[in-house]
């Protein structure tokens, strides 16, 4: 069965620190990759996505992610976090033409002033 792993469950950073959240998946075929963010009290929102082409994708609010096929990874990065980035971040994978989205367990990011 396909699985998505987010190894960091809870990350605490000071403002202006750099961020990298890990995401690995187990499926070997063609995949679509997503990062969703859930701010406190709000619904899941798309941060960025990879379907094809340039493996380095840029999303909203200065986030980017790099798809490394050989490592089955899609790590999320931001060079300088802000307090407003405090949220839960979910990596998700769709395989091929299937509709099903498989989520990781999420990483709770807390940014301190």
Name the minimum Å distance from CB 15 to another protein: 25
Name the minimum Å distance from CB 12 to another protein: 16
Ramachandran area for residue 3 (φ above 0: left; ψ -120 to 50: alpha; else beta): beta
72 and 21 in contact (C-beta within 8 Å)? no
φ and ψ of 83, to 5 deg: -55, -35
- Residue 103 found at the interface with another protein (CB under 8 A): yes
**Residue at token pair 């992610």:** 65
C-alpha to C-alpha distance for 67 and 25, rounded to whole angstroms: 11
Residues 30-69 that bind another protein (CB under 8 A): 30, 32, 34, 36, 42-46, 49, 51-52
Q: Give the contact letters, 73-102, x = binds to another protein (CB under 8 A), - = no.
A: -----------------x---x-xxxxxxx
Q: Which residues bind another protein (CB under 8 A)?
A: 4, 30, 32, 34, 36, 42-46, 49, 51-52, 90, 94, 96-106
């Amino acid at each position: 069965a396909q699985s998505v792993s987010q190894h960091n469950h809870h990350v605490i950073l000071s403002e202006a620190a750099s961020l990298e959240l890990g995401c690995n998946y187990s499926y070997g075929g063609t995949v679509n990759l997503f990062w969703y963010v859930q701010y406190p009290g709000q619904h899941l929102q798309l941060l960025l996505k990879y379907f094809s082409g340039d493996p380095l994708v840029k999303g909203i609010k200065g986030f980017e992610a790099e798809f490394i096929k050989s490592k089955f990874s899609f790590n999320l990065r931001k060079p300088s976090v802000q307090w407003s980035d405090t949220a839960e971040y979910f990596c998700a994978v769709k395989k091929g033409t299937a509709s099903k989205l498989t989520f990781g367990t999420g990483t709770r990011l807390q940014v301190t002033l």
